Amino acid sequence: MKSLRRRNIRDRVMEVVLMASTILVLLPLLIIIYHVISNGISAINWEFFTEELGSPSRAMQGRPTGLVHTMIGTLVVDFMALAIAVPVGIGAGVMLSEYPDHRLNPTLRIMNDTLNGMPAILKGLFAFVLIVKPMGTFSGIAGAAALAFVMIPIIARTTESALMSIPWTIREAALAIGLPRWRVVLSTVMPAAKTGLVTGILIGFARAAGEAAPLLFTSFGNNYLPNHWTGFIFNPVDTLPQRLYSLAISPYAQWHSMGWASAIVLLGFVILCFTAARLASRQKYQL
């Protein structure tokens, strides 16, 4: 009887410890969200979503100012990065999972892990040397390339683990009806792993969407809307994480609260991506 009571007490203690750690995980997030919203909400109005930023005097004199060019720029740069990263990342993931015997495989694995662990700013530097220097100008496409380097190793790893989670028997069954290997991967393994693939892409995307460092000397930033839409690709482009930084270090109180507001938008964007990833990862059939 005595030992049973002791076990019950231990059980209660464990429960309390688990609850405490859960709260510790949630608390910083809640504090951040509270701070961001309470500081930024005052700067959010209609103009915030429809006007370009312009010079600081606009905000100081109460003329309409906003971050529409930043939001469009973020979407353009992020989706360009996605368009570059998805084929490369998925391709590398398929290589890692489906061709373990290939002689390039070990090298690819090491390179991918290195790229994953490399500081994001170095990826920006790489894109600077690769694209900004030859082009002679900062540009959205250079920023997209830098962000793609952030996404690729994440997508490759999640693709690999999503494909590995599909039972080997599916591949054998597909081979046994005389399908070539690429067809087996493309038409039976990848569809079965679809939710995992989508989740991986969204996680990579959300992660890159929050990066400021690789964009500092690639997309550079811009206070104005371009004259033509191609300006979002070939000219310096503003993005939310980087604009957040430059607003925050500016000497203007109005811009500080706009910085907080841009944080609200960025946070909302990233939360949306992760929620979509969660929804997409709901499995229909248990394998």
Partner 1 sequence: MKQNSEYLTANNLPRNFEITRDSIFTASGKNIRMETRNLTVKYGSKIGIQDISLPIENKKVTALIGPSGCGKTTFLRALNRMHDLTRIASVTGEVLLDNKNIYDPDVNPVIIRRKIGMVFQKPTPFPTMSIYDNVVAGLKLVGIRNKSLLNEVCERALTQAALFDEVKDRMKDPGMSLSGGQQQRLSIARALAVEPEVLLMDEPTSSLDPQATSRIEELIHTLKDQVTIVIITHNMQQAARVSDKTAFFYVGHVVEMGETKTLFTNPKEKRTEEYITGRFG
Please give the distance of CA 43 from its chain centroid, rounded to a whole number: 25
What x-and-dash track marks residues 106-145 binding partner 1 by CB under 8 A? ----------------------------------------
Q: Which is nearer to partner 1, 190 or 264 (CB)?
A: 190
What distance separates the 2 farthest-apart alpha carbons in the chain? 81
Least distance to partner 1, CB of residue 107, Å: 17
List Cα–Cα distances, 66 to 182, 195, 224, 255, in angstroms.
Answer: 49, 37, 10, 10
Phi (first) and psi of residue 210, to 5 degrees: -90, -5
What's the min distance (Å) between Cβ of 179 and partner 1?
6
Q: Which lies closer to partner 1 via its Cβ, residue 130 or residue 280?
A: 280
What is the dihedral sign for C-alpha 173, 177, 182, 186? Answer: negative
Are residues 37 and 264 in contact, defined by beta-carbon separation less than 8 angstroms? yes
In the complex, least distance from residue 285 CB atom to partner 1, rounded to whole angstroms: 5
Give how many residues touch partner 1 by CB under 8 A.
23
- In the bound state with partner 1, the residue whose beta carbon lies nearer, of 10 and 194, is 194
Q: How far is the CB of 181 from partner 1 (least distance, A)?
A: 8
Look-up of token digits 């609260």: 257
Nearer to partner 1, 188 or 218 (CB): 188
Q: How far is the CB of 104 from partner 1 (least distance, A)?
A: 15
49: tokens are 């979503």
Measured between alpha carbons, how far is 20 from 16 in angstroms, rounded to an integer?
A: 6
Q: Is 280 in the site for partner 1 (CB under 8 A)?
A: no
Q: How far apart are CA 184 and CA 169, in angstroms?
A: 12
**Min dist. Cβ of residue 286 to partner 1 (A):** 9
109 burial via Cβ count (<10 Å: 0-12, 13-18, 19+):
middle
Contact partners, residue 33, CB within 8 Å, separation at least 6: 267
Residues 145-204 that bind partner 1 (CB under 8 A): 167, 169-180, 183, 187-188, 191-192, 194
> Which residue, 119 or 191, has its beta carbon nearer to partner 1?
191
Distance CA 274, CA 203 (A): 7
Is-contact 80 141, C-beta < 8 A? yes
For residues 163 and 137, the answer to whether their CB atoms sit within 8 Å is no
> Site residues for partner 1, window 213-242 (CB under 8 A)?
none
Output the smallest distance, CB 51 to partner 1, in A. 47
Among residue numbers 18 through 77, which ones bind partner 1 (CB under 8 A)?
A: none
Smallest gap from residue 102 Cβ to partner 1 (A): 10
Show Cβ contacts of residue 3 under 8 Å, excluding neighbours closer than 6 positions: none
Complex with partner 1: residue 15 or 172, whichever CB lies closer:
172
Site string (72-101) toward partner 1, x via CB under 8 A: ----------------------------xx
Q: Which residues bind partner 1 (CB under 8 A)?
A: 100-101, 167, 169-180, 183, 187-188, 191-192, 194, 285, 287
